[in-house]
Amino acid sequence: MRAKTLLDRTVSGLLFTISGSVILSMGALLAELVIAGHASMVHFGFSFFLGHAWDPLRGAYGALPFLFGTAVSAIIGLVIATVLGLGTALLLTQYATLRIIRMIGFLVNLLAAVPSVVYGLWGIFIVVPWLRVTLEPALYRVFGDIPLFAGARDGVGMLAAGLVLGIMTLPTIAAVVRDVFGAVPNTLRDGALALGATNQEMIRMAVLPFARAGIFGAVMLGLVRALGETMAVLMVIGNQPSITGSLFAPAYTLSSAIASEFAEAASPLYLSALYELGFILLMLTILIYTLARLLVWRVRWRGGLPL
């Protein structure tokens, strides 16, 4: 190979400089949230996380209702997305012939590409009326004694947000799980089949145990997606900072609170509190993402694939 010329060094240096934008951007985001949320952090300290009242008129700002709403709606969404995403990924990797993979693969990509606001529209005009008229009354008739299914059945609320989130995070989970299944060594699968296992037994005994950590990682990547989802949730969750035991009740999430209250935040402390919600959201994203990556990496590493 020829020695590196001046041109090589210049090009490489230039590209290196541009790549610095990645570090710069993440730094700027973190700095902005810390600086703008500083007033709220100093004013409330740790009690911000435990405060269950969010009442700007009285100057009370607590993040608990948003943490609660984010967690519960994300959990409902993840349950749906995991079951359906795992099924889709298994069908795509273990059964389908090439042609079908391309077709269904394209459709799953499309599911990921539908804009958030269109999911919101679907939520408002199709999911919410269906919940109000069909599912929620049915659940109430059967399980009405349990607080989880008690209360007003308006359609708008935690359950609607969870359903929409489920569909929106499904493609993320399906994509990562497909990747993880791809890392399962063929010798394991072939071995199981050669021993006379049916496809289902092969999946249960060879594929799933090997991929378990990776599946968990995929679910957490789905969680990252669910945490950050703003518009669709904003349109169906009802936007009330309350903590109730009922899945039918309206709630609020970190991201949808920022989106809907930012424009009307009149006092500096109000604005700062919203920025602190943003800071919490970023920290959760980084934390969960890092854990998820480690899990997916572990499976790829064991399967002998590059990290």
Is residue 124 within the footprint of other proteins (CB under 8 A)? yes
Interaction mask 5-24, other proteins, x per CB under 8 A? x-xx--xx-xxx-xx-xxx-
**Interface positions, 180-199, toward other proteins (CB under 8 A):** 195, 198-199
Is residue 110 within the footprint of other proteins (CB under 8 A)? yes
Is residue 283 within the footprint of other proteins (CB under 8 A)? no
Residue that has been written with the tokens 């669709």 in this structure: 232
Q: Which residues contact 27 (CB under 8 A, 6 or more apart)?
A: none
State the distance between the two ends of the chain, measured CA to CA, in whole angstroms. 28
Give the nearer residue to other proteins in terms of CB position, either 123 or 151.
Answer: 123
CA 269 to chain centre: 29
If you ran DSSP here, which 8-state letter would residue 264 be given?
G
Interaction mask 207-246, other proteins, x per CB under 8 A? --------------x--xx-xxxxx---x-----------
The nearest distance, CB 218 to other proteins, in angstroms, is 12
Give the nearer residue to other proteins in terms of CB position, either 14 or 148.
Answer: 14
Instruction: Among 71, 259, 291, 305, indicate the residue that binds other proteins (CB under 8 A).
Output: 259
CA dist 95 and 108 (Å) reads 16
At 15, give phi and psi (nearest 5°): -65, -40
Q: List C-alpha distances in Å: 259 to 44, 156, 232, 278.
A: 22, 18, 11, 10
Residue that has been written with the tokens 């709606």 in this structure: 73
Instruction: Among 165, 178, 241, 247, indicate the residue that binds other proteins (CB under 8 A).
Output: 178
Interaction mask 38-77, other proteins, x per CB under 8 A? ----------------------------------------
The nearest distance, CB 213 to other proteins, in angstroms, is 18
Is residue 32 within the footprint of other proteins (CB under 8 A)? yes
CA dist 77 and 149 (Å) reads 17
Q: Is 69 exposed, middle or buried (0-12, 13-18, 19+ CB in 10 A)?
A: buried
